[in-house]
A and B are shown apart, each in its own frame.
Chain A
């Protein structure tokens, strides 16, 4: 079974600063997808960024980027120029190759953004 580990239950960052959220995973597969989802208090799960395992280039979406280390099975999220609206729970997720869109989630990191 594929497991996803987020070792930081809570993180704090000052507005306009940069923060990195950690995620590691365990899998025996070579082809898979990794995701970061954001869940604000509204409960809506919002896709932040995705990474295909076969791509060596790290994914980037505006202020969000990842550091994907396939050999180390590490998938960290970097948020640059943090904004108050970035405050939320962040979940790292692994998509199993034979399960369509079913995801394995980590336990989440609660991000606090201070003015």
Chain B
């Protein structure tokens, strides 16, 4: 398994500001992902965090709004920029190991409230 630490676990932010969420894994992983879970909704993939290159964003998500970094194989950050109340969600980091392991592991998520 993989132990994933996400920080902060929750935050309340003013609209127009930005928040950076950190995801730290206890061992090297090949792939890292960021999901958004809006209130009462399912998880939606934001992007794949690529080590050493730009993240790959899903339709409807852009780098200017959700810049992502992945400086090494155990760490990634997601920034939610210029926040509005519509950005209030749970943001989850997910990781996967080598190609033969099918399981994706999740962090406990960051509950973001924008006021």
Q: Do A and B bind each other?
A: yes
Q: How many residues of A contact B (CB 8 A)?
A: 21
> With the chains together, A68 CA to B115 CA distance in Å?
44
For residue A64, CB closer than 8 A to chain B, the reply is no
Give the contacting residue for B103; candidates A43, A50, A91; CB below 8 A: A50
**CB contacts between A and B, total, < 8 Å:** 53
For residue B43, CB closer than 8 A to chain A, the reply is yes
For residue B88, CB closer than 8 A to chain A, the reply is no
For residue A78, CB closer than 8 A to chain B, the reply is no
CB of A96 to closest CB in B, whole Å: 10
Give the contacting residue for B111; candidates A33, A43, A45, A101; CB below 8 A: A43
Contact with A along B94-115 (1 / 0, CB 8 A): 1110000011101011010000
Chain B interface residue count: which class?
Answer: 20 to 34
For residue B53, CB closer than 8 A to chain A, the reply is no
- B residues apposed to A, CB below 8 Å: 30-31, 33, 41-45, 48, 90, 92, 94-96, 102-104, 106, 108-109, 111
Nearest first, the 4 closest Cβ-Cβ pairs linking A and B are A101-B96, A45-B106, A101-B104, A100-B31
- A residues apposed to B, CB below 8 Å: 33, 35, 42-45, 47, 50, 52, 91, 95, 99-108
